[in-house]
Structure 1
């Protein structure tokens, strides 16, 4: 039994935060505006709206969904699983399986591997895969290192079974992890290991003038860039070797929409033509787990890709983790 991506939709919150177009850092990262969740608007709300848009498009009757996957680093609670809350809120069947997994910028590729496994092992036939993150709630307004970059968003992807489709409409995959880099992109306080305390809320100013406390998002941008520039080409080559393909066999490339400088550096290093390389972050920022599906469906609707195209998806970031896969477009 084969699996394929049947439909994708996404949701951006209404509130916008604009970057100064003349700012040197803005020009480097290429982000002009981000969408920011409201004070009482959470990642599960964004995921709900993305899923509702997908159902409203008549891609599928929600009664046919038999598994819900939810990728987020902005859960509603320690427990219960937010996917269970979304199952009830979306009106999905109680015979529908549901689980969260905590992963960021590589999460979409990891989620596709889980959905493929669920379908091709016979556990499910129609998987609703949601991604949503509200990094803005972790960002200190005086930390330009992250404030200029991250936007809030959610996506909804329908992965379905089709007996006439082979097992390569999604996959193969190349997944990897290097936990030595865990502290390069982290919210240090707020979990069980370091609960929030008065001390964790004390703000400090770093050597570059950025202000944050230990409940805020911290990112070592230079280290993340070096990791990406070194590891991602190696992982892509591993996928190509595994699948006995070359870059020329792919019609299009959708990388995690990190920022302009990073993407252009990798594109040039791999010698990928600009016309085959997705750039879809300028008006929404780095949307973490939602960046790949947003770019993927935007490119499809704008005519940059079409059904039958072979597309490489490349995720990388927090963890540190990476995920790369091939898909063949068959979007309804």
Structure 2
């Protein structure tokens, strides 16, 4: 019997510390109001990891929440996928550390992948391949980010947007439909528009890489900090997302009106509003809510799915389109049945 792939359960975890708009205004001596920040970003507050709390720690807590719900035992997991751009170490893989902490079987595969804003869609594609090839029956997909560790405290362009968080998703082999078509894409020409320039093998940390400089907008950062070219990311998003949405519709032989709900990577309200209007998606069928967590990168889509389920915006049987886009450049989309 040929199995299909189904999302069985989703849980998420957000760090205890929060950073509100009011905190940002005070710490950075901003001339903006809390309402102005919210109006542009859609964010009121972000969760920020402790100094010694890593993406691995967040991922473990999200996974423990999922496993403690009784839907799946640790012994049942055949493969662990961990998406992060903020690993504990260059090596070993964080997935191996998580595997140990969760006490998964020795014959359970475990691997990291570094993909960012489109990472959840890529993770679904990998899980689908593992399950539908017969290599695994249950795949635990974790996405966790602590971008706050890369952000300069005086960089308004990034500090207002990003928050830390993690999500755990259980994917299982099923006789019924669940995860439909998946499309991914890449264009490395935009790599330098969302990047931490120093710290890897290409550009190791040296004293000169730690020198902080102000840009033309007054944002302060060093080469060891996260840099984002907001206008270029925005242009890339408007160029790519409508095409990948249409690609999924064509593959599924559906029109946009036949999709019950849309959950995109929760980048910021400004981008999401423009995409919704460009695609002519009804407001009531489109999720925007990053007000209390900010942009959690690869974890944003699964967190949004769980929030939408809890809010009653989506229900069993609904056809939901998921779309991720950003750092790389990379993008992906898929159709799932709840």
TM over 0.5: yes
Q: Does 1:299 align with 2:301?
A: no
How many residues were matched structurally? Answer: 326
Q: Does 1:181 align with 2:201?
A: no
For residue 23 of structure 1, report the CA deviation from its aligned partner.
Answer: 5.5
The answer (yes or no) to whether the contact 1:113–1:171 under 8 Å persists in 2 is no
2:176 matched residue in structure 1: 165
Higher mean C-alpha deviation, range 107-116 or range 24-33: 24-33
SS in structure 1 of the partner of residue 309 of structure 2: helix
Please give the alpha-carbon distance, in whole angstroms, between the structure 2 residues aligned to 1:297 and 1:11. Answer: 11
The answer (yes or no) to whether the contact 1:72–1:133 under 8 Å persists in 2 is yes
List runs of 5+ in structure 2 lacking aligned partners. Answer: 23-32
Q: Which runs of 4+ in 1 moved over 6 A?
A: none
What pairs up with 1:42-191 in 2 under 5 angstroms?
42-162=54-174, 164-166=175-177, 169-191=178-200
For residue 195 of structure 1, report the CA deviation from its aligned partner.
Answer: 0.5
TM superposition score normalised by structure 2: 0.95
- The equivalent position to 2:53 in structure 1, one of 20, 30, 41, is 41
Please give the alpha-carbon distance, in whole angstroms, between the structure 2 residues aligned to 1:155 and 1:25. Answer: 26
Q: Does 1:241 align with 2:253?
A: no
Please give the alpha-carbon distance, in whole angstroms, between the structure 1 residues aligned to 2:91 and 2:41. Answer: 36
SS in structure 1 of the partner of residue 34 of structure 2: coil
Please give the alpha-carbon distance, in whole angstroms, between the structure 2 residues aligned to 1:26 and 1:219. Answer: 19
For residues 63-110 of structure 1, what are the alpha-carbon distances to aligned partners after superposition, in whole Å with 9 as ceiling and x for unaligned?
100100000000111111110110011111111001000010100011
Please give the alpha-carbon distance, in whole angstroms, between the structure 2 residues aligned to 1:22 and 1:123. Answer: 50
The answer (yes or no) to whether the contact 2:21–2:37 under 8 Å persists in 1 is no
For residue 24 of structure 1, report the CA deviation from its aligned partner.
Answer: 3.1
For residue 26 of structure 1, report the CA deviation from its aligned partner.
Answer: 3.8
For residues 106-151 of structure 1, what are the alpha-carbon distances to aligned partners after superposition, in whole Å with 9 as ceiling and x for unaligned?
0001100100110010000000000000000000010000000000
The answer (yes or no) to whether the contact 1:26–1:148 under 8 Å persists in 2 is no
Please give the alpha-carbon distance, in whole angstroms, between the structure 1 residues aligned to 2:133 and 2:79. Answer: 13
Higher mean C-alpha deviation, range 310-319 or range 240-249: 240-249
2:319 matched residue in structure 1: 310
2:13 matched residue in structure 1: 11
For residue 279 of structure 1, report the CA deviation from its aligned partner.
Answer: 1.3
SS in structure 1 of the partner of residue 117 of structure 2: coil
- The equivalent position to 1:271 in structure 2, one of 268, 272, 280, is 280
The answer (yes or no) to whether the contact 1:103–1:289 under 8 Å persists in 2 is yes
For residues 194-245 of structure 1, what are the alpha-carbon distances to aligned partners after superposition, in whole Å with 9 as ceiling and x for unaligned?
1101000000100000000000000000110011011110121122122221
SS in structure 2 of the partner of residue 105 of structure 1: helix
TM superposition score normalised by structure 1: 0.97
Please give the alpha-carbon distance, in whole angstroms, between the structure 2 residues aligned to 1:23 and 1:116. Answer: 42
2:291 matched residue in structure 1: 282
Please give the alpha-carbon distance, in whole angstroms, between the structure 2 residues aligned to 1:23 and 1:10. Answer: 27
